Chains A and B, each alone.
Chain A
Amino acid sequence: DIQMTQSPSTLSASVGDRVTITCRASQSISRWLAWYQQKPGKAPNLLIYSASNLEAGVPSRFSGSGSGTEFTLTISSLQPEDFATYYCQQYYTYSFTFGPGTKVDIK
């Protein structure tokens, strides 16, 4: 299986901050990567697919980049509703794997 790692595991930030989360794959996955946001007690919500495509309805402050083995999710100006846990997911092979998550909390 392809292993996914994320850094940092926890990120403390303030409203208005620019936030960057990194996701790395154990082998090249081209651009077959998605990002999800999950709030406590809720299902994950798709933010980005194919590494950089914004899902319909997702605010434009979210953006994704990268290819191969290294990817980033950026929130350009953190809003109160963005405090959550973020997961990357590879879908290069039919044994999908998620990163361990990055929790963004209030500084």
Chain B
Amino acid sequence: QVQLVQSGAEVKKPGSSVMVSCKASGYTFTNYGFSWVRQAPGQGLEWMGWISANNGNIKYSQNFQGRVTMTTDTSTSTVYMELRSLRSDDTAVYYCARDGGLRYFDLWGRGTLVTVSS
């Protein structure tokens, strides 16, 4: 079954870091790239960055440059997103999304809720 399975919900303190994982299955992992997209409660979609599962090339949104790191582990077909220096306005559902090279997203994970609260 073609799917992206994300890690579970997290509660974090301001100033800390969070790492969200996204495990791909049912297709050839290295044929695709992945983006991370977040959605604050009741808000729209915000693109955070993209990583190629083929060669590790990365593009980060300027809004997150310096605070986010995206990595892949081809041995487990897993993509990771680490966000540092968390603030309360980082509270959101974080989605991983697959793209086939044309940069639109044809497969999405179910999302991971990250709550930042003291």
Contact = CB atoms under 8 A, between A and B. Distances in A.
Contacts of B8: none
A44 B97 CA distance: 9
A55 interface: yes
Nearest to A94: B59
A92 B84 CA distance: 28
Nearest to A42: B110
B29 interface: no
A95 B104 contact: no
Contacts of B108: 43-45
Contacts of A44: 37, 45, 95, 97, 105, 108
22 contacts: A32-B103, A34-B104, A36-B45, A36-B105, A44-B45, A44-B105, A46-B106, A49-B102, A89-B105, A91-B102, A91-B103, A91-B104, A94-B59, A95-B47, A95-B62, A96-B35, A96-B50, A96-B103, A98-B37, A98-B46, A99-B44, A100-B44
